[in-house]
Structure 1
Amino acid sequence: MPTEPPPTEWALSLAQVVPGEDLAGVGADLEPGTVLAAYRIGLFPMGLGEGGTDPIGWWSPDPRGVLLPGDLHVSRSLRRSLPRFEVRVDTAFEEVVRRCADPSRDGRWITPAIATAYGRLHRLGWAHSVETWQAGCLVGGLYGLAINGLFAGESMFHTVTDASKAALVGLVELLGDGGQPGLPRWMVDVQWRTEHLATLGIRELPRERYLELLGHVLRQPAPDAWSHRDAGSP
């Protein structure tokens, strides 16, 4: 079970957010309790400065990109690629984050402060990586925050074709039973839908609907995928 950190000192809220506006607030901190409180109400942090630097922005995209049970699209070519990868969980979390934060990547937003914050959440048992390996080498992966039935995906990378897609397939397999139509047991939050993510089955939801589903999945039991590790383990 993950360890609950001290509660945040900040009053996070969506009360003043205008429909269709993605940015909900600026400031606060990246303490574990603050970040968890944010995700529980539908926010996530990303810096407003160049390359994701300060000040910290708190975002609630409208619409929101999500992957729901049954929506994952696995193409024929991807299905042929999957056997080439070994999927592991939490064996190289910091390396996955480092690869995702590569300064040469377009749209880079993962700063050292963000990496440190999610590293702390990983050690507390909240943040996880799903990795793809070939011949003992890390070739792709993703990382994010897991709170009950929510997996908030933060970023992914690959150095081999289909490696990040295989990590997403592995994540969905780890999450397991999706529940009933309209009442999912889990939801993968990807923040914004891109053309690339749309090919994998990512859909957009209005903020209001996203928050409804968020409240539902946060009441679901955590998937067994994350129970293999104890809080504080490397």
Structure 2
Amino acid sequence: MKKIIFLDLDGTLWTFEKIPGSALEAIEHARKNGHKIYINTGRTRCEVPQFLLDMNLDGYCFGSGSEIIIDNKQVLFEPLKKRDTQFIQHIAKDSGFSLEGSKMTFTSEKNRERMRQFNTDNRMGNRFLSFPDISTMTDDDYNQVMKVSIHFDSLSQREEILRQLPKHLTFTNFMHLGGEITHSECNKATAIQFVKNYYEEEYKTVAIGDSENDLPMLEYADISVAMGNGVKEVKEKADYVTDKIDNDGLYKAFKYLKLF
């Protein structure tokens, strides 16, 4: 049976500097054999480097399943409600946060300063530092916000903010004192479900990832693979643990799965 492979981006396909040549080779071979390749990322559409979009893969799932592109056509677009975004903005006003949109991301000055400190190795790219301030947002800007990334000053601040979240919103941790707030009904697993249902032909699904926000798709997919550089929780959930990204991990995973 043919497969749809859902690839996390950061730390799985992309090293923050490049896509390993062996990964590109594996993707090319798999597609020639009739398998479909999707990027399934927590990043919103505007935060994905253009060269990754120019790969013209079978599809892209952005913003933790809130926007889906199949064959260059937008088939799902579920931004946060403006009132929810503004409520999060209110309760998180003393923390650092970014309102991440499909077309543009806006950030608080406190979060911009955090990013400057975090970005000493340019992992996130200077683009993250140049996003406009939240104070400049219009109604149209609010209507394209897909998720909120937030960085807390302390565990007590985190507990207080998350205590106020309504049930239709959910928080996913992805680093110490950091994480993202999204629709409860949108995540990387719902993205896989949507894509699988989109096709009339039957496919097996494969999820490959490395971090906490990959756990929903690893649990949902028919086959789950953790990168060797992944966090402990991901490796424990996966059916198979491949090598690290910079040691041909994706290529070795594709070979193990007999995609070529």
Q: Which has the larger radius of gyration?
A: 2
Higher helix share: 2
